[in-house]
Amino acid sequence: MADYDYDIGIIGGGAAGLTVASGAAQLGAKTLLIEKEAALGGDCLHYGCVPSKTLIKTAHVYHLMNNATQFGLPAFTPPPVDFRKVADRIRSVISTIQHHDSVERFCRLGAKVEFGDPVFTDEHTVDLDGTAITARSWVIATGSSAAIPPVEGLDTTPYLTNRDLFSLDTLPGSMLVLGGGPIAVEMAQAFCRLGSKVTVIERGDQILAKEDRDMAELVRQELEREGVVFRMNAAVTRVSDLGPRRQVILANAAGETETLEGEALLVAAGRAPNVAGLGLEHINIAVDRQGITVNRSLRTRHKHIYAAGDVIGGYQFTHVAGYEGGVVVSNAIFHLPKKTDYTHVPWCTYCHPQLASIGMNEKSACKAGIEYSVWSEEFSGNDRALAEGEEVGRIKLLLDRKEKPLGVQILGPQAGDLLSEWVAIMNGGVRLTRIASAIHPYPTLGEINKRVVGSVFSPKIFSATVRKGLKFFFSFKGRACTWETDDNKQEGTR
């Protein structure tokens, strides 16, 4: 057996790479972690999940201050936002979390951390800034970056991506956002709430294209109500730098053009895998537009080289990258065959109201040719939502022909947290009858989960057949009261 420097080498210190490094080192494997940036944590910690959610919280508080009268409080107009202070808070949160992703912590776990730009020279060797390093197994977890669309003039026009959005010195008076995906939607609402005039430019006819149209449209309506402007079915033909402003020229399906201007231009039109400069061509690893090609065990065409996280495309979420890192540990360290299973992947867009999903929605069920039924409840019928002024939104439960859950979508307050109950239900194979009979605390938003399940059984329990049976066996006398409405003279219980 060849003598390698390390049992396993990991390229990339984001969610997937850190998961593998932590697991492998604690299991006794001699582990090397290589990161090209100045600190561990990856895009999520420094330019993605953490700073964006910190900014969203700040924007939400400022929005509440501006809307105090909706809660019975005196009208209050707060002073303009000093974005330097907002950016300082974001950096503070990142710094606090950074301690968990520090070199010292991973060294204590037993993993060696190096910084630099590794390049594969053969299937077991990388060149790290002039030093050859070998490992029995390698894991490529280099993540992704903002995809830059091939738009005329963009290469000579200053623009923002998620890498520089959270460290601005001043709040832009106006912002043009290219793209209508989760990042675009979250940041459009946040900057609008902070005081920017925001226009979202989407080439399709729906924002959040992977979501069901009815849910995505509710999100768009809420953002429009807050002041975000949308240009749908709009193709960007050219952008220009006007000095203090950026100019974007659009064309619609009819060929009509429109010119927009804004102080800032945010490019949020998807993600691209970080594969350049790794020398993958030297070791014949397949790469396409989505990223590195792997099988369900996350192996490349070389059995000892794995890839995980955003760099393989698929579900580009931090929690999925962590899950994939666990799959790699099972295969590369334990040598226990394990394949990825994305059946019950949850995700959430952290706009307000949030939009969270797990499993199939109507789009994916239709595409798969699966017969389903839809059961829904509105947050306007949830007492806690009304108390908190959060009545906009709904929960959708998709059931198959055997009334087993296919998927759940929740558009509403704290939807990402509410979805956790469904993560346990669907992964644990819990029967709906258990949910319907479970006791939920009152008043909570979580009651909506029980209520939507109850709506599945209510037509059966309270059917005419059941009533007739009970009347026959127990001589029930029927209704004690009826109510006739003025509008349609129909009877109803009271």
What DSSP string runs through 29-51? --EEEEESSSSSSHHHHHHSHHH
The CATH superfamily label for domain 6-40+102-146+272-334 reads FAD/NAD(P)-binding domain (3.50.50.60)
Locate the domains of the chain by residue range. 6-40+102-146+272-334, 154-269, 346-461
Tokens read off for 210:
């992977």
Tokens 């201050």 appear where? 65
The per-residue pLDDT for 1 is 61
- Residues 293, 295, 298, 300, CA torsion sign: negative
Rg (CA), the chain: 26
Q: pLDDT at position 408, please?
A: 98
The answer to whether 55 and 166 have CB atoms below 8 angstroms apart is: yes
Q: Per CATH, the architecture of 346-461 is what?
A: 2-Layer Sandwich (3.30)
Q: Is the dihedral of CA 149, 153, 156, 160 positive or negative?
A: negative
CA dist 181 and 400 (Å) reads 28
In sequence order, what E strands does 123-234 have?
125-128, 131-140, 144-146, 174-178, 197-201, 229-231
Please name every residue paired with 179 in a beta bridge, in sequence order, or none if there are none: none
Helix (H) or strand (E) holding 374: strand 373-378
3-state secondary structure of 155: helix
CB of 301 closer than 8 Å to CB of 284: yes
Confirm whether 6-40+102-146+272-334 and 154-269 share one CATH topology: yes
Quick one: CA dihedral 377, 380, 385, 390, positive or negative?
positive
SS3 state at 399? strand
| Residues 298/176, Cβ–Cβ less than 8 Å | no
- Tens-digit pLDDT profile for residues 79-124: 999 999 999 999 999 999 999 999 999 999 999 999 999 999 999 9
d(CA 56, CA 165): 13
Q: Residue holding tokens 């895998």?
A: 273
Report the pLDDT value the prediction gives residue 485, as an integer from 0 to 100.
65
- What topology is assigned to 154-269 in CATH? FAD/NAD(P)-binding domain (3.50.50)
CB 78 within 8 A of CB 66: yes
3-state SS, residue 349: strand
Token pair 């979501």: residue: 211
370 backbone φψ class: left, alpha, beta (φ>0; ψ -120 to 50): beta
Burial of 263 per CB tally in 10 Å (0-12, 13-18, 19+): middle
Predicted local distance difference test score (pLDDT) of residue 486:
58
Tens digit of pLDDT at every position of the chain (494 positions): 689 999 999 999 999 999 999 999 999 999 999 999 999 999 999 999 999 999 999 999 999 999 999 999 999 999 999 999 999 999 999 999 999 999 999 999 999 999 999 999 999 999 999 999 999 999 999 999 999 999 999 999 999 999 999 999 999 999 999 999 999 999 999 999 999 999 999 999 999 999 999 999 999 999 999 999 999 999 999 999 999 999 999 998 888 999 999 999 999 999 999 999 999 999 999 999 999 999 999 999 999 999 999 999 999 999 999 999 999 999 999 999 999 999 999 999 999 999 999 999 999 999 999 999 999 999 999 999 999 999 999 999 999 999 999 999 999 999 999 999 999 999 999 999 999 999 999 999 999 999 999 999 999 889 999 989 988 899 998 989 988 765 554 443 33
Tokens, residue 270 = 């998807």
Phi, psi (rounded to 5 degrees) for 358: -145, 140
The number of helices, as runs of H, and strands, as runs of E, in the chain is 14, 23
Q: How far is 188 from 211, CA to CA, in rounded Å?
A: 18
